[in-house]
Amino acid sequence: MVHLLVCLVLGPAGRQRVRVSQTLLSLGVFLLFALILQMAVLLGLAEADRAFTLTAFSLSTAGGLYLLIRSGWNEVLHPPEPSLTLVQMSCAITEVCWAYAVLGEARGVVVVMLIVVLTFGMFVLRPGQARAMALLAGLELAVVMVLCNRFDPQRHPSEVEIIHAGIAVLALGAVAILTIRFGQLRRRLSDQREELRQALARIHEMATRDELTGLPNRRTLRERLGQFGAEPVPLSVALIDIDHFKRINDEHGHPIGDQALCHFARLAEDELRGSTDIVGRWGGEEFLLLLPETRPEQAQACVDRLRRRLMRHPLPGVSPVLVMSFSAGIGECHGAEDIDAVIERADQAMYRAKQAGRGCTALG
């Protein structure tokens, strides 16, 4: 029952519920403020009709904002800032400044309420918005003071209004400065969180990817091999070695050798059959190809197709033309406990392919 009531009043869990809760909090504050106004009426400090009008306006405004946010229309009307913080604060500032004209001799406490309103946005507003809200509060209060002094100088003598104005400027200025500093601190923390997120992403990339080719590294390949091996589906593993890679380095230089590895990596990724096949750099000029749901004979067809594609696409920007090829060995994994053994079988098959003249594939 309690849970249903909470859901009815606050809505479903999530950010919207937080917004509704904040709006209900402000509604509760204005309910208490309304009680204080009625107490002022009983004590003869405020006129009943003026206090009633202000109370009706305050509660209807706060209630309307609650219904607006509870219904979800806030996300439709103002998606950039669905909490409607500026709207709520602007309404509250107007109501508090209105109370300054209503409360008579007790009007000095209004400055405290303005501080409460500005504090409401301390953890939300950007520095520019905080300055705007403080300026709005100061201007509205100044206008009310001038009008009250002009039309009712007996209850609002200039000397008292000047003192109140000085206190208001001091209080609003201090709160505005604190709010601006909080906003700057939030921005700094947000920037630091983003930098940390990017740093963690880079660390994860360095830990899981080969720096040169961008392919999954040896550690990642072993993890994925263990995951695939635990599944009750066929899994073929192909170990690929670029033929005569040392000669490429010796004749063209190590930068060209690095380009050759990256060239093969791009072609191999393009040749993958969807998102399940994985190719990664095993080490040096060796690459490992994981082919789930694939028998060795099917894997051989995939590897041979990759070889033909590699031979049709010479390494660009190299003269004379550099046509690459590779030798490959294929093993079939028979479960998670067979991981090291299948790599060894694929490695032995690859060396048999090399001994057979390179540029071919052997089954292990």
Q: Annotated catalytic sites, by residue?
A: 285
Alpha-carbon gap, residue 344 to 273, rounded angstroms: 25
Alpha-carbon gap, residue 282 to 326, rounded angstroms: 14
Cα–Cα distances (Å) from 232 to 292, 300, 335, 355, in that order, read: 10, 21, 8, 34
Alpha-carbon gap, residue 90 to 183, rounded angstroms: 19
Alpha-carbon gap, residue 305 to 285, rounded angstroms: 19
Q: Tally Cβ neighbours within 10 Å of residue 303.
A: 25
Tokens of 285: 């000029």
Alpha-carbon gap, residue 40 to 196, rounded angstroms: 54
In degrees, rounded to 5, the angle at the alpha carbon of residue 167 between the alpha carbons of residues 165 and 173 is 95
- DSSP H or E run through 271: helix 254-271
Is the backbone peptide bond immediately before 320 cis, with ω within 30 degrees of 0?
yes
